[in-house]
Structure 1
Amino acid sequence: MQGPTELPEMLVLDILSKLPAKSLTRFKCVSKSWSSSFQTPYFITQHHQNQLRNNNLNLLLKRCKGNTFDDICYFSQLSTGKVPNFIPKQNIFFPFVDYVTSEFRVHGPRNGILCLECEEIISLWNPSTREFRILPQSSIQRPPSSLDYTVRTDLGCVGFGYDSQTDDYKVMRFVNNSFYYDGDYGYTIFSHVTAQVDLYSLNANSWKEISDPEVIVRYSTMFDNYVNGVCYWLSDTDNDNDVFILSFDMVNEKFSTLPSPELDGGLAQYNLELFNYNGLLGAITYPREGILDSFDLWVMSGSWTKQFSIEYVIGAERPLGLWRNGEIFFQKDYELLLFDPSTRELKYLGVHSYKESIQLISYVESLVRINGRSEHEERVVRQTARQPFRSILKMKMKMDRELKEKCKI
């Protein structure tokens, strides 16, 4: 009687590369061979490509419990199965996010890696492998401040990208000595006069200073600003009528500019959000004033062309992101909505947040390593969404106190 046929190792690894990261984490203990194979660049790339090919998107909602400015900010992992209901499955709390709402920004993903920005603390996080890394403080001398507080990196003036030539993850930040904002908070376009630009390399684990473009960098709080190795920001000079798009290439580490879409009545009347639209630079524009009753989507391919317009999305206030089949997430007051342009159906998803804190992040699972530590070691707290929020908050407050005491030693 013939025994069972043993499958070739490459075929086994090919099958395993189609599994979710959670399963692969469990299977590391099967054998040392499997564990080491899961960490090879080839397997990591194959796994990520399989997840992309199958459009296995995951959703994180950055939100806030309550309706006051000093309530705590956290992530909710939303359910996104074959028939997604977007119900929160898990809440995730970070030790350095201490009772802040809009002071917490997320950049990415880049190959499944997210960059978290909370005032001067910047960190990298792989939510699939639960690996976490707080970046070191820059030792670069800061420029003199024209304000009466310490020069700092202001929220949103950060670029997070991937250098494919050196297989390196980089964080670029504008350091400012003055800033102003224009508009109502939550729908705001902030503007910054840069004094210095710092660039972090994960491979080198260090910061360096790079050439300053000497422009006013504008940003808003909705979409990710990265496309194919390049970060983008809406910018201008001292003349508000001279609005353009500033870009930074993560490979050659150079700034360049390109024009913004030409809008009827001028850009001053519109909000403009830059984002990745099927591998091209896209822009969503919608009126600054009043209820959002229409918006346009533009695509840059040599020049700006209007892809489509959607009018009269009743009840929607601002776009938050795109979903698998072209559906669009919107926000109304404190609630998350999903709009299907093909059927014009608008669904209320029953997920609420303090409106100025809300941010939606979609990502595909990845096994990419960031040479950090586990979430548990870094005191990141994960709890089921069913657990009473008060007990979670009490636990986090205790961990925050312990972390502060540890830092004093």
Structure 2
Amino acid sequence: MSDRLSQKLLTEILSRLPVKSLLKCRCVSKSWYSLITNPSFIAHHLEKTAPRNSGLLIFRYSTTAELDTESDNVRYFLYSDEGFPENPVEELDCPFKGVKRFVNIVGSCNGVFCLSDNVGGINTYRAALWNPSVRKIVKIHFPKVNYTSKGPFIHSLGFGFDSTTDDYKLVRVVYLKDSTLNYNEFPPLVEIYSLRSRGWRKVDNNLKYVMREGSTSAFLNGACHWVATKEDGSWTKLFNISHLEWIRRLVAFRQNGKVLLAKVDGELVFYDPKTEEISATEILGNTRSFYLDTLVESLVLLDEANEFAEEEASEDDGTNGVSKEPSSSPDGVDKDLQKISEGKKNANSPMILNEANEIFEEVAPSSNSTIDKANEESKEEAQGESISTE
């Protein structure tokens, strides 16, 4: 194939395809599988696709007012930006479920969402990185905190991408819960987790601000940001919003300037600051469960193994609801890989190759003859190769 379609040209063509198409293209041959799952290609694909807004939103809410272990009532949906809050594109399955079947979403970056299981005062010291586009999830265990002799502690988390080291990192800031203690004697603890090294390290700090327990962070311009107060508890009122005493929490800002708010009765509404008009979404749920963010479709974590298995399910005596066999790829790709690995004698192999050919014709119509020749060679290659499904 390299004689007729250079590796560089092939990489450029594939890097412009959407994630779902690339997941199917892994079935073409061993060489394509190796290319698409290569970390360098994953980063190159992100560079090509990240500037283009996919127009997708991920939305989470609970179908009941209470969060408990009795029912799996927390749901994740994918929406088009224009279609929200009506007509969801699809429902997503998040394999990481907390002790109350509900987890905190720390933040997102490049299509990867950081989840933490510390809700309602229960901390299992577990977190995870999840990319719903490729259905991959990586577990993280927090190190124990040595504040136990001084009383309970609180921690705030931040998640982002370090472009200097090409690494995804999770930041944890730990405080003693007793605000009367001297922070000079018991300073906050700051730790950073690295996905690349799969380990934690402590960071020297001189923090003078206290973050709210369970507060979410925002990753912007290469840094994590939190809402915090000074150690003495002082604050300054910058502006006042009238007639909104029924607000429980702010959920998200929309590009059209409207604000998504959760009311104390669990209703989700839009508020227009310019006109002060309120419009209903007809969505009801637990106010803590509401979450809305842009979904960047990416291949990040595709080269990682899904790490949740029976050991996670047993940690909480089966109450955490962790899926024991999470799917590693959507749209039945694993089934196609299995069929190809069994000798490539089934009818699906040419079907997948033809689909890849159609995709290429859309991406590079001026190179049809070259791609047709490449596909002919791909078919010959498909007769004698075997792809591992593990």
Q: TM-score, normalised by structure 2?
A: 0.64
> Which deviates more from structure 2 when the two are superposed, residues 79-88 or residues 347-356?
79-88
Cα contact 2:60–2:77 (8 A) shared by 1? no
The 5 Å alignment of 1:93-108 reads 93-99=94-100, 101=102, 104-108=103-107
CA distance in 2, matches of 1:42, 1:326: 37
Distance 1:132 1:93, change over 3 A: closer
When residues 397 and 317 of structure 1 are mapped into structure 2, their CA distance, relative to the original with a 3 A threshold, is closer
Cα offset for 1:223? 6.0
Q: How many residues align?
A: 303
Q: Deviations for 1:188-246, whole angstroms, at most 9, x for unmatched residues?
A: xxxxx8542221111211111111334342238786422111112233443222x5xxx
Q: Does 1:231 align with 2:224?
A: yes
Conserved? CA contact 2:78–2:92, under 8 Å:
no
SS class of match (1:66): coil
Aligned residue number for residue 356 of structure 1 = 288
How far residue 358 of structure 1 moved from its aligned partner, in angstroms, is 1.8
> Once the 2 structures are TM-superposed, how far is the Cα of residue 28 of structure 1 from its aligned partner?
0.7
Q: Which moved more, 1:171-180 or 1:27-36?
A: 171-180
One-letter identity of the residue aligned with 1:132? I
Matching residue within 140, 144, 149 for 1:145: 149
State the distance in 2 between where 1:239 and 1:42 align: 48
Stretches of structure 2 that go unaligned for 5 or more consecutive residues are 118-122, 180-185, 313-317, 326-390
Q: Confirm or deny: 8 A CA contact 1:340 1:346 kept in the other structure.
A: yes
Could you list the per-position Cα deviations for residues 225-279 of structure 1 after superposition, in whole angstroms to 9, with x for gaps in the alignment?
Answer: 22111112233443222x5xxxxxxxxxxxxxxxxxxxxxx33xx7xxxxxxxxx
Partner amino acid, structure 1, of 2:100: Y
Alignment of 1:10-409 (within 5 A): 10-70=8-68, 72=72, 74-80=74-80, 83-88=83-88, 89-99=90-100, 101=102, 104-118=103-117, 119=123, 120-138=125-143, 142-147=146-151, 151=152, 153-154=154-155, 157-179=156-178, 195-219=188-212, 224-241=217-234, 243=235, 266-267=236-237, 287=241, 291-292=243-244, 318-332=249-263, 333-338=265-270, 347-369=279-301, 372-374=304-306
Structure number with greater Rg is 2
1:76 shift after superposition = 1.4
Unaligned runs of 5+ in 1: 1-5, 181-192, 244-265, 271-284, 294-314, 381-395, 404-409
User: Hey, what's the Cα distance between the residues in 1 that align with 2:154 and 2:73?
Assistant: 20
Provide the rounded CA distance (Å) in 2 between the counterparts of 1:342 and 1:14: 45
The one-letter amino acid of 1:355's match is T
Rounded Cα–Cα distance in structure 1 between residues aligned with 2:272 and 2:216: 19
Amino acid at match of 1:319: L
Question: Which protein, 1 or 2, shows the higher relative CO under an 8 Å CA cutoff with sep ≥ 6?
Answer: 2
Post-superposition shift, 1:336? 3.0
- What percentage of aligned pairs have identical amino acids? 27
Residue 334 of structure 2 corresponds to none
Query: Does the Cα contact within 8 Å between 2:57 and 2:292 map onto a contact in 1?
Result: yes
How many angstroms apart in 2 are the aligned matches of 1:351 and 1:194? 42
Q: Determine if contact 1:63/1:75 at 8 Å carries over to the other structure.
A: yes
Deviation at 1:339, TM superposition (A): 5.0
Cα distance, 1:402–1:31 mapped onto 2, change above 3 Å: closer
| Secondary structure, aligned partner of 1:199 | strand
Query: Cα distance, 1:94 vs. partner?
Result: 3.7
Conserved 8 A contact 2:101-2:321 = no
Structure 1 CA distance, aligned partners of 2:141 and 2:276? Answer: 47
2:232 aligned counterpart, secondary structure: coil
- Residue 39 of structure 1, CA deviation: 2.9
Q: Decide whether aligned partners of structure 1 residues 202 and 223 sit closer, same or farther in structure 2, where only a CA change above 3 A counts.
A: closer
Considering fraction of residues, name the structure with more helix. 2
2:45 match: secondary structure = helix
Q: Determine the structure 2 residue equivalent to 1:254.
A: none
Paired letter, 1:142: N
SS in 1 for 2:99: coil
* Equivalent position SS for 2:42: helix
Tell me whether 32-41 or 204-213 shows the greater mean CA deviation. 32-41
Q: Distance in 2 between matches of 1:78 and 1:345?
A: 26
| Paired AA for residue 36 in structure 2 | F
Shift of 1:66: 1.3
Root-mean-square deviation over aligned CA pairs: 3.9
Q: Is the 8 A contact 2:254 2:260 kept in 1?
A: yes
Q: What letter matches 2:262 in structure 1?
A: Q
Deviations along 1:76-120, one digit per CA (max 9) or x if unpaired, are 12321665554443153445412255xx31122122111111132
**Does the CA-based 8 Å contact 1:194-1:217 persist in structure 2?**
no
- Residue number in structure 2 paired with 1:263: none
For 1:406, the equivalent position in structure 2 comes to none
Q: 1:328 to 1:54 in 2, by over 3 A?
A: farther
CA distance in 2, matches of 1:329, 1:135: 31
TM-score (norm 1): 0.61
Residue aligned with 1:47, SS: helix
Q: Residues 21 and 366 of structure 1 are in contact (CA less than 8 Å); yes or no, is this contact kept in structure 2?
A: yes
**Is the 8 Å Cα contact of residues 291 and 316 (structure 1) preserved in structure 2?**
no
Cα-to-partner distance string for 1:58-87 (whole Å, 9 max, x where unaligned): 322232231224265634123216655544
Indicate conservation of the 8 Å contact 1:122/1:135, yes or no. Answer: yes
